[in-house]
Chain A
Amino acid sequence: MKASPAYRVFRVVALTVVVLALIAPLLWMIAASFKTNVDIYDTGKALVFSPTMDNYVKVLQQANYVQFIGNSLWVAFAATVASLVLGVPAAYSMSRFNMKKSALVVLMARVIPGVSLLVPWYYVFSNLKMVGGSGVLILSHMFVSLPLVVYIMMGYFDSMPEELEEAALVDGLTHIGAFRRIMLPLSVPGIATAGILSIIFSWNNFMFALVLSDADTKTLPVAIFDFVGYASIDWGGLMAAATVVTVPIMLIALFVQKYVVSGLTAGATKG
């Protein structure tokens, strides 16, 4: 049945409002990042202003953001690779052998408040002289990405027919050989989904780096606070910093939309 004309008009209007409400604030942030602080304070210059790159020069050169971008990238990349290496075989085992209790233990990490781990971590890692290094940041971000990888990959392996593996065994592969040569190559889309989601969540993570990093190893979400002073806020610099953090991740989401959506909704419809 075709939708009625009245409904179609309503849908266009309603969805336009939704899209504007979701996108306009982000565009506002990006616009402000190209304004001088004088223009930001002048509400008359909301839309008409002469763009300036000063804020970006400030962020990238004076505020040392190139280094923080590097930190964020390295931590996100390393935590993701490590989580995939540990998480993919574990998810395979948990899916094939129906290890419900073990899966539940890993997924508990999604439930536990991060603060309750930070105190013991801080104590142990400062004794090991690791606080402030990037190793401890990578470990802490794995706390977020490993459960994510296990959760997404378990769903993926559940959906792969067991016959594939049985055929490989008949062809003379060992169980581990079948996993390595048949199941792994076939699960590349799932691994991509898990990897992308893990990178996004690690890049966006704030609390662990807030406690465990120092002035040299801090990641972008922590570095944003450099522009917030006790007495005043450098709005132009702050918005440029916020844009530098947010836009790369939005571009990734734009290009690999399908993977991001399937990762975010993984397991939601199994009932």
Chain B
Amino acid sequence: MATITTTKGSRSAPTGPDTPAWVRWANDHRKWLFAAPAMVFVAALIAIPLAWTGYLSLTDTEGSVRAESTFVGVQNYLDVLSDTERFWPAVGRTATFTVVALLFEVVLGMAIALLLWRPFKGQKWVRVAILMPLVATPVAVGMMWRLIFDPNIGMANQILGWVGIGPQPWLAGQYTALPTTIFIDVWQWTPMVVLILLAGLTSLSEEPQEAARIDGASTWQRFRHVTLPLLMPTVTVAILLRGIDALKTFDVLYATKGRGGGSFHEVETLNVYAYGLSFDYNEYGVSSTVLILFFLIIIGSMWALTARRKEAKR
């Protein structure tokens, strides 16, 4: 291809005998010429820092990254993995937060996407409304819910009062804080699941639906045995994308409960815990250990999910 020397109608030099050597070189090496800058950026800003974090996790560095530190091997890992006061509860909260939020988001998201599937008058406005929580700044969203859930002046308790339920502590309660932050996550991110599932539904072909209808399948049967199996790959993608972000939730937790996830660490997930270790306590060695374990948990759950998906494809 590249050796065609026709000049008719050309606006730039064709690759021929007259082509300057550097142009030919650039064209021959365009694959890496195009990709390299981004790859170098990623390597410099991500791969090297990550390797460094891996190294720090094997030392007792604290106070300052520059401070004298000794290599302690896997001691940090043994300490962290046997820490039932902060680490394991944080693992539990991260898992609870992610699993419960995802469950609600997928079920509600599926219901809303099905309602929006077929065109109807006013659909455009519903779609606009769905987009709003999704693009709103998470920190601002946290502050907004903080006012609504305020035990004394918040609208939430006001509304509960109208239906005869007593005031709740919401974010301020030791046991209600985590469920309340899960609610906020569901409010903000169910729309994301709706949009993904809606894109999936729109790309489905009509024929299986028609066939099932002619065979006399009920609406529920059509959903259960036709739509859902065809939509499963998209559902997995939604769970994967949303799951990664839910595991790493930080902004809303920090905005509503502040450092350490509140005074009882009631919303302290792994990300909040690692942030606190690094920037409130400067325990760089231990925090790096937590981060490496956190990273492995994220990779592990992604791998489990995609493996299950491949299994389902067979």
Q: Which residues of A contact B (CB under 8 A)?
A: 1, 3, 8, 11, 14-15, 18-19, 21-23, 25-26, 28-29, 32, 40-41, 43, 46, 86-87, 89-90, 92-94, 96-97, 99, 102, 105-106, 108-124, 139, 142-143, 146, 150, 166, 169-177, 179, 181, 200, 203-204, 206-207, 210-211, 220-221, 224, 228, 233, 235, 238-239, 241-243, 245-246, 249-250, 252-254, 257, 260-261, 264-265, 267-269, 271
Contacts and interface: CB of A to CB of B under 8 A. Distances in A.
Given A119-B284, A239-B147, A261-B131, A204 B137 contact: yes
Interface of B: 1-2, 4, 6-15, 19, 23, 26-27, 30-35, 37-39, 41-43, 45-50, 52-53, 56, 65-66, 111-112, 115-116, 118, 120, 125-141, 143-148, 153, 155, 158, 187, 191-192, 195-196, 198-200, 203, 213, 233-234, 237-238, 241, 244, 248, 250-251, 254-255, 270-271, 274-275, 278-279, 284, 287-288, 291-292, 294-295, 298-299, 302
Contacts of A86: 37-38, 41
28 contacts: A3-B120, A18-B112, A26-B136, A28-B147, A32-B147, A89-B35, A89-B37, A94-B35, A102-B35, A109-B42, A111-B302, A113-B274, A116-B291, A116-B294, A117-B53, A118-B279, A123-B66, A172-B8, A176-B27, A204-B136, A206-B254, A221-B139, A239-B144, A242-B139, A249-B137, A250-B136, A252-B135, A253-B132
A151 B134 CA distance: 19
Majority SS of interface residues in chain B?
Answer: helix
Given A28-B147, A40-B147, A210-B254, 8 more contacts: A22-B129, A112-B295, A113-B270, A115-B250, A120-B49, A173-B14, A175-B2, A206-B251
Nearest to A150: B38
A231 B246 CA distance: 30
A149 B87 CA distance: 35
Contacts of B275: 115, 207
Nearest to A197: B135
Contacts of B278: 115, 118-119
B187 A21 contact: yes
Contacts of A268: 196, 199-200, 234, 237-238, 241
B41 A146 contact: yes
A116 B10 contact: no
A43 B234 contact: no
B133 A119 contact: no
Nearest to B275: A115
A174 B27 contact: yes
A28 B14 CA distance: 62
B144 A29 contact: yes
Nearest to A223: B139
B36 to A, nearest CB: 8
A145 to B, nearest CB: 11
A28 B295 contact: no
Contacts of A96: 31
A90 B12 contact: no
A242 B244 contact: no
B164 to A, nearest CB: 16
A204 B8 CA distance: 51
Output the residue of B41, B43, B148, B248 with the most chain A CB within 10 A.
B41
Contact of B10 (A171, A204, A224): A171
A89 B34 contact: yes
Contacts of A97: 31
Nearest to A222: B139
A171 B196 contact: no
B34 A93 contact: yes
Contacts of B153: 40-41, 43, 235
Output the residue of A21, A41, A206 with the most chain B CB within 10 A.
A206
Contacts of B10: 171-173
B299 to A, nearest CB: 7
B124 to A, nearest CB: 9
Contacts of B192: 264
A224 B141 CA distance: 11
B12 A177 contact: yes
A139 B45 contact: yes
A94 B178 CA distance: 42
Nearest to B157: A43
Nearest to B133: A22
Contacts of A233: 146
Contacts of B129: 18-19, 22-23
A26 B133 contact: yes
Given A25-B144, A109-B46, A268-B238, A11 B115 contact: yes
Contact of A257 (B128, B203, B248, B255): B128
Contact of A242 (B9, B140, B233, B295): B140
B137 A221 contact: yes
Contacts of B144: 25-26, 28-29, 239, 242
Output the residue of B38, B125, B147 with the most chain A CB within 10 A.
B38
A25 B139 contact: no
Nearest to B130: A22
